[in-house]
Structure 1
Amino acid sequence: MKLCIFCSANQNIDPVFFEMTHELGEWAAKNGHSIVFGGHDAGLMHAVSKAAHENGGQVIGVVPRKIEEMGRLSPYLDVHIPTENLTDRKDLMMLQGDAFIVLPGGIGTLDELFTTAAAATLQYHQKPLILWNMKGFWNSFIACMDDLQQKGVIRGEWRNGIKVVDTLDEIKDLLG
């Protein structure tokens, strides 16, 4: 399975997030799963790609031209898919991924999460979308989504399309 990982490229975040992300990359590789990610050489992107690579997993980077121009390309890519911009990147990541796992992140991660979730609501894909709520990182987001649900602006139950988990074991269970 190709696991598409959406996550932060920042370094100044909780060190435990790096440990948990490393465990995800290691587990994925040891179980024959490939990692699809944004191709950046920092933050949680670096952690998951390095862990997968060091444990024999395939690492696929879908990389916008700007990241390459900044010299921030991950050294752990087995497959390098260049893109012109972030929209192309998201489209290709959705095509490449068999399942999506959202780790802590900021604006870019939220953009990827919402694009993937919206695509699922319109039946462009029926792939699992998992929000890993590491140490309660996404609690405010979850509360916001629950509030939007309660106000009636989200059709259906949002948790049917975005599975919220707290542990790697829950991810393993969801992915079989």
Structure 2
Amino acid sequence: MKKFESVCVYCGSSFGTDPIYESAATRLGQLIAEAGLRLVYGGGDVGLMGTVARSVLDQGGKVTGIIPRFLESREKMLDDVDDLIVTQDMHERKQLMFQRADAFIALPGGIGTLEEAVEMMTWAQLGQHRKPVLLADINGFWAPLLELLDHMRHQGFIRPETEVPYLVARRVDEAIPMLREAVCGSDEGPCVPADEGAPLARF
């Protein structure tokens, strides 16, 4: 039986320049809570990460925050979460976020968000996991990355046998159904056994 009980969200510790990003983070938090999923995130109370976490909590959802000790004051931990873990370093933080999530969503963010999302894509490419990774392409935010990935393919650095598995949602409301289908084989209802040999789709 496939499991889809939690989703890790990577996103910025600032709000960005376009108000649509904060709106998308708020909406995603609502959708996560409504789906009965646990949010796993970076533990901060700032920027988009604080927005999505508070939105989940406001809807009665469950949140696991994972933050390294050196960021406790800089990112102001969100103490309202029901599960808060303080790690020794970034490596432990990222490993625990991976272990506790059944899928991953990258909202708009900076270099840290990019690094975390690409690392999960890399691990999937290398066969280390089959958890879906979704880019929430809000207002075309991830278009430059998608263009770069296409450039890598055209230049022969991403080959058919080493394809990078990821999903792209143009609207935040598409994210949870797409992940549920990728994990469970259906976009609604409980998870059912899926074909282990089937590659993750790239939309």
Do both share a fold (TM > 0.5)?
yes
Residue 12 of structure 1 and its aligned partner are, at CA, apart by 3.9
The yes-or-no answer on 1:19 pairing with 2:11 is no
Distance 2:156 2:111 in 1: 24
* C-alpha spacing 1:75/1:148, structure 2 compared with 1 (3 Å): same
The within-5 A match list for 1:1-176 is: 1-70=5-74, 72-156=76-160, 161-174=165-178, 175=180, 176=187
Distance 1:77 1:171 in 2: 23
Rg larger in 1 or in 2? 2
Residue 113 of structure 1 and its aligned partner are, at CA, apart by 0.8
Runs of 5+ consecutive residues of structure 1 not aligned to the other structure: none
TM superposition score normalised by structure 2: 0.81
In structure 1, the residue corresponding to 2:72 is in which secondary structure? helix
Higher helix content, 1 or 2: 1
* C-alpha spacing 1:36/1:157, structure 2 compared with 1 (3 Å): farther
8 A contact 2:32–2:176 mirrored in 1: no
Distance 1:102 1:133 in 2: 9
Question: 1:75-112: per-residue Cα shift (whole Å, max 9, x none)?
Answer: 33210111111111111111111010000011100110
* C-alpha spacing 1:18/1:34, structure 2 compared with 1 (3 Å): same
* C-alpha spacing 1:58/1:172, structure 2 compared with 1 (3 Å): same
8 A contact 1:149–1:158 mirrored in 2: no
Equivalent position amino acid for 2:112 in 1: G
* C-alpha spacing 1:21/1:150, structure 2 compared with 1 (3 Å): same
Question: 1:132-156: per-residue Cα shift (whole Å, max 9, x none)?
Answer: 1000011111111110111111133
Structure 1 runs (4+) deviating above 6 angstroms are none
Q: CA RMSD in A?
A: 1.7
* C-alpha spacing 1:173/1:11, structure 2 compared with 1 (3 Å): closer
Question: 1:31-76: per-residue Cα shift (whole Å, max 9, x none)?
Answer: 2111000011111101100000010100100111111143611133
Q: How many residues align?
A: 176
% identity of equivalent residues: 34
Equivalent position amino acid for 1:107 in 2: I
Distance 2:10 2:140 in 1: 17
In structure 2, the residue corresponding to 1:161 is in which secondary structure? coil
- The more displaced of 55-64 and 71-80 is 71-80
